[in-house]
Structure 1
Amino acid sequence: MTLTELRYIVAVARERHFGRAAEACFVSQPTLSVAVKKLEDELDVKIFERGASEVTVTPLGEEIVRQAQAVLDQAAAIKEIAKRGKDPLAGPLRLGVIYTVAPYLLPDLVKQTIERVPQMPLMLQENFTVKLLEMLRTGELDAAIMAEPFPDTGLALAPLYDEPFMVAVPRSHPLAQRERIASEELKRETMLLLGTGHCFRDHVLEVCPEFARFSSDAEGIRKSFEGSSLETIKHMVASGMGVTVVPQLSVPKEPHPHVAYIPFAEPTPTRRVVLAWRRTFTRYEAIAALRNAIYACELPGVRRLS
């Protein structure tokens, strides 16, 4: 049994396809397939069920893959320990960020990181919360910035900030003249929502639960519309198609000619943004440096957490 073989079975379990797993490992498919079969023969168990279009992991294989990932983490930890002896911050940090945080935090964060720890470049990945959690579990990411709540996966967490929500309305809308808006008042409006998979969509539906029933049936399309990104939805608001809810950091610094951003009336709905990493990740200094870089960002209107 070799680390290479363990790396191969983790890749196959992740990709559910031998060809894609071979590409991810930069080897030919026959090389990977032979190595996986050799490991199965050595262990005298079947790790994968080979189907015509997809590979599935057997129940026993799931346990083996989890243990293989733990072994790979420990092997990587040995290398990290050696690196830390020279420079604890040396080497890239693979960071995932959810879609509704990345555009508004990363430009400043990358700048702060370059200034503070130039020897630790960030390798960035934008994705949905579910995908980032999976990438953390499989070791594809070192850390991720996400919004609570999400399933308890045994990760280490550090709270970063609480971010209030704002209401975005067309400048021509009567609500644009208000100083604050109660969530109940949005019941009468055409709500623009992010598509399924975005955790911020769920946050908005918590604030305005009555719109949940519109998001799954055809009749409701008259009342709510879905977009692929916050910026797309803001353009829809600007064109007068409806109103939406956005996180504070996405509000532009300069007034928008066609969109007004109005605070909620108390109690103001918020989301908690956190930094998550595997408990087996040994570059503690890198996590601390990343948190310090985040705290050095402007973050207007949010409540920083220690």
Structure 2
Amino acid sequence: MTLTELRYIVAVAREKHFGRAAEACFVSQPTLSVAIKKLEEELDVKLFERGGAEVSVTPLGDEIVRQAQQVLEQAQAIKEIAKRGKNPLAGPLRLGIIYTIGPYLLPELVKHAIAQTPQMPLMLQEHFTVKLLEMLRTGELDCAIMAEPFPDTGLAVAPLYDEPFIVAVPATHPLATRETISAEELKRETMLLLGTGHCFRDQVLEVCPEFARFSSQTEGIRKSFEGSSLETIKHMVASGMGITVVPVLSVPKEPSEHVRYIPFTPPAPTRRVVLAWRRSFPRYEAIAALRNAVYACQLNGVTLLS
């Protein structure tokens, strides 16, 4: 049994496909298949069901894959401990970030990370919360910036900042002249939402649960439309299709000709943005350096948390 064979079975379990797993491991598919078959013969168990378009993991195989992941993490930890003895900030940091934070935090964050820790480049991965949690668990990421709440997976979590929400309306909308808007008033409007999978969509629905009912006959809301990104939704607002709710960091620094951004009537709904990492991750100094880079950012409208 070798670490390479363990890496192969973890890749197949993740990709559910031998070809994609081989590509992820930078080997040919026959090489990967032969190695896995050898491991199955050594253990005298069947790890994968190979029928159909997708490969599935057997119940016993699932246990073995989980243990293999732990072994690989521990092997990586040995390397990290050796690096840490020389310089804990040396080498890349694999950072995940959700779609509704990345475009607005990363420009400042990367600038400060380069200035403070140039020897620690950030390898960035943008995705949904559920995918980032999986990538943290499997060791594909070292840490991730996400918004609470998310399922308790035993990760270490440090708060970064609280970010209020703000209402975006077309410049020609009757509400565009208002100083503040209440959540109750939004119930009578056409709402534009992010698509399923975005945690920010769920947070907006918590502010006004009526938006979850996609019926034109539903009292209190005429229609709801979906967009793939906050920037796409802002363009839809500008064109007059409806209104939306956005996090304050996504508000442009320069005034928009076609969209007005109006605060909620206090207390404004907010989201807490946090940094999460595996408790077994040995480079705590790298995590601390990343947090310091976030705190150095000029993040207008948010409340930084130490």
TM-score of the superposition, structure 2-length normalised?
A: 0.97
CA offsets, 1:103-154, max 9 Å, x none?
0000110000000000000000111111111111111111100011111111
* Number of the residue aligned with 2:12: 12
* Number of the residue aligned with 1:199: 199
Moved more, 203-212 or 57-66: 57-66
Tell me whether 1:301 sits opposite 2:301 in the alignment: yes
Query: Which amino acid in 1 is paired with 2:242?
Result: G
Query: Which amino acid in 2 is paired with 1:144?
Result: A
Tell me whether 1:284 sits opposite 2:284 in the alignment: yes
Query: Which amino acid in 1 is paired with 2:52?
Result: A
Offset of residue 66 of structure 1:
1.0
Offset of residue 267 of structure 1:
2.0
* Number of the residue aligned with 1:113: 113
Q: How far apart, CA to CA, are the structure 2 residues paired with 1:21 and 1:114?
A: 33
* Number of the residue aligned with 1:252: 252
* Number of the residue aligned with 2:133: 133
Q: How far apart, CA to CA, are the structure 1 residues paired with 2:216 and 2:237?
A: 21
* Number of the residue aligned with 2:240: 240
Query: Which amino acid in 1 is paired with 2:228?
Result: S
* Number of the residue aligned with 2:38: 38
Q: How far apart, CA to CA, are the structure 2 residues paired with 1:285 and 1:60?
A: 38
Offset of residue 279 of structure 1:
1.1
* Number of the residue aligned with 2:85: 85
Moved more, 55-64 or 188-197: 55-64
Q: How far apart, CA to CA, are the structure 1 residues paired with 2:212 and 2:277?
A: 32
SS in 2 for 1:12: helix
Q: How far apart, CA to CA, are the structure 2 residues paired with 1:255 and 1:114?
A: 30
Q: How far apart, CA to CA, are the structure 1 residues paired with 2:85 and 2:279?
A: 20
Offset of residue 218 of structure 1:
8.5
TM-score of the superposition, structure 1-length normalised?
A: 0.97
Tell me whether 1:26 sits opposite 2:26 in the alignment: yes
> How many residues in Structure 1 have an aligned counterpart in Structure 2?
304
SS in 1 for 2:193: strand
SS in 2 for 1:132: helix
Runs of 4+ in 1 over 3 A off after TM superposition: 217-222
SS in 1 for 2:84: helix
* Number of the residue aligned with 2:64: 64
Q: How far apart, CA to CA, are the structure 2 residues paired with 1:267 and 1:87?
A: 45
CA offsets, 1:186-210, max 9 Å, x none?
0110000000000000011001100
CA offsets, 1:42-68, max 9 Å, x none?
111111111220101111111111111
Q: Within 5 Å, give how 1:98-177 maps onto structure 2.
A: 98-177=98-177
Please tell me the root mean square deviation across aligned C-alpha atoms, in Å.
Answer: 1.3
Cα 1:222–1:187 shift into 2, 3 Å: closer
* Number of the residue aligned with 1:185: 185
Query: Which amino acid in 1 is paired with 2:283?
Result: R
SS in 2 for 1:175: helix
Q: How far apart, CA to CA, are the structure 1 residues paired with 2:174 and 2:61?
A: 59
